[in-house]
């Protein structure tokens, strides 16, 4: 009933001859190519069904004209970095996590790739003239999961290699050892893996690699000398979340040498009001979207008591392996 993913590729006329367009299209020889004026004509149409589109997304290649770099949002962790920014290189993700904020943010599940990386690079270089930059590249997508099609992580690692005051973080749930092997490990490049217990991955993170495969990829990255971060974020509540979480952390550090992990992130699930409204409509049967969250300051969360106890318990478990001062916590009370 459904077309395969990326059976249709929409390409803005303006960037049809851009080298990144040519390179990305070469990875989709059998797809139907359709020329369009602007990506919004397809991406922002009204009445789209996010969940249906997730089963068979189209690809859209576009040019970004402004806002190449954004200031880090308060609901995101800055890991102690003052000049914290993120870039949207791709909109949407090949994975399908039920808790993902993207389904509340975007009107479409189709994936938009901006091809004009050179404009992002110029924008970062202008910022670097004023101060160092900590830049997260994989917030509105999973960039590493698309690496075999885009090569964008490799391009950014190469750019970081020429700019010592730039630190980039690439966060992922992917498990492509091949992609990791293709990158040089640099001091100012952080590869960050998000890990969740098996039950969360199986039930709520559709299409993502299982925990064990992510662990194997982390081991490869560590062995190759990468700076690796582990993100236990979001923590998803269930009756047995604590035992699942504890078992996962023990499994991870039975295989990954903890002293080679630079730090860890920790945060309970939280989501803005407007996003949750749309997510609840999209997924009426999801225990995650339909949970009776508490609300304040524009954000839904588990409530201070439960969030606090989950955070403290999780931190105690992680601290068996990672020193307290290297565990960065998102605290809802402080909005950071």
102 part of the interface to ligand SF4, by CB under 6 A: yes
Could you tell me if 242 and 313 are in contact, meaning their C-beta atoms sit under 8 angstroms apart? yes
- Give the residue with the Cβ less far from ligand SF4, 116 or 201: 201
Measured distance CA(132)–CA(81) in Å, rounded: 10
100 part of the interface to ligand SF4, by CB under 6 A: yes
Could you tell me if 77 and 233 are in contact, meaning their C-beta atoms sit under 8 angstroms apart? yes
169 part of the interface to ligand SF4, by CB under 6 A: no
CB 146 to ligand SF4: min, Å: 10
97 part of the interface to ligand SF4, by CB under 6 A: yes
With vertex at residue 86, the alpha carbon angle to CA 82 and CA 87, rounded to the nearest 5 degrees, is: 150
Q: Which residue stretch of 31-39, 88-96, 224-232, 320-328 sits at the interface with ligand SF4 (rule: CB under 6 A)? A: 88-96
With vertex at residue 192, the alpha carbon angle to CA 166 and CA 299, rounded to the nearest 5 degrees, is: 95
β-strands 227-235, 189-194 pairing? parallel
279 part of the interface to ligand SF4, by CB under 6 A: no
Nearest to 153 by CA among 137, 164, 165: 137
89 part of the interface to ligand SF4, by CB under 6 A: no
Binding mask 242-261 for ligand SF4 (x = CB under 6 A): --------------------
95 part of the interface to ligand SF4, by CB under 6 A: yes
68 part of the interface to ligand SF4, by CB under 6 A: no
Could you tell me if 215 and 284 are in contact, meaning their C-beta atoms sit under 8 angstroms apart? no
93 part of the interface to ligand SF4, by CB under 6 A: yes
142 part of the interface to ligand SF4, by CB under 6 A: yes
CB 206 to ligand SF4: min, Å: 8
* CB burial of residue 188 (10 Å; 0-12, 13-18, 19+): middle
173 part of the interface to ligand SF4, by CB under 6 A: yes
Measured distance CA(112)–CA(110) in Å, rounded: 7
Measured distance CA(85)–CA(70) in Å, rounded: 5
The answer, yes or no, to whether the previous bond of 303 is cis (omega within 30 of 0) is no
- Give the residue with the Cβ less far from ligand SF4, 95 or 134: 95
Size of the site for ligand SF4 (CB under 6 A): 9
- Give the residue with the Cβ less far from ligand SF4, 12 or 147: 147
- The residue ranges that bind ligand SF4 (CB under 6 A) are 93, 95-97, 100, 102, 141-142, 173
């Amino acid at each position: 009933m459904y077309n395969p993913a990326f059976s249709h590729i929409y390409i803005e006329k303006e960037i049809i001859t851009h080298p990144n367009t040519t390179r990305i299209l070469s990875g989709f020889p059998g797809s139907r190519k359709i020329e369009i004026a602007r990506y919004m004509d397809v991406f922002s149409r009204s009445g789209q069904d996010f969940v249906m589109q997730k089963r068979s997304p189209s690809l859209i290649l576009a040019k970004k004209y402004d806002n190449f770099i954004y200031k880090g949002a308060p609901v995101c962790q800055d890991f102690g970095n003052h000049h914290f920014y993120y870039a949207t290189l791709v909109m949407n993700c090949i994975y399908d996590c039920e808790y993902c904020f993207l389904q509340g943010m975007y009107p479409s599940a189709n994936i938009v790739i901006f091809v004009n990386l050179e404009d992002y690079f110029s924008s970062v270089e202008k910022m670097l003239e004023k101060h160092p930059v900590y830049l997260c590249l994989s917030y509105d997508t999973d960039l590493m999961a698309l690496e075999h099609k885009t090569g964008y992580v490799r391009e950014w690692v190469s750019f970081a290699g020429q700019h010592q005051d730039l630190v980039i973080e690439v966060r992922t749930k992917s498990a492509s050892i091949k992609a990791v092997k293709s990158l040089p490990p640099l001091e100012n490049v952080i590869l960050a893996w998000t890990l969740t217990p098996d039950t969360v991955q199986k039930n709520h993170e559709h299409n993502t690699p299982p925990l064990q495969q992510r662990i194997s990829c982390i081991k490869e990255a560590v062995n190759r000398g990468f700076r690796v971060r582990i993100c236990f974020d979001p923590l998803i509540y269930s009756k047995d979340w604590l035992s699942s979480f504890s078992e996962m952390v023990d499994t991870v550090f039975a295989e990954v040498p903890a002293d080679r992990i630079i730090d860890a992130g920790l945060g309970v699930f939280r989501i803005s009001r407007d996003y949750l409204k749309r997510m609840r409509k999209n997924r009426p049967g999801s225990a995650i979207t339909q949970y009776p969250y508490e609300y304040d300051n524009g954000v839904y969360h588990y409530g201070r008591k439960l969030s606090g106890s989950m955070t403290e318990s999780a931190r105690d478990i992680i601290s068996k392996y990672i020193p307290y001062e290297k565990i960065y916590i998102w605290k809802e009370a402080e909005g950071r």
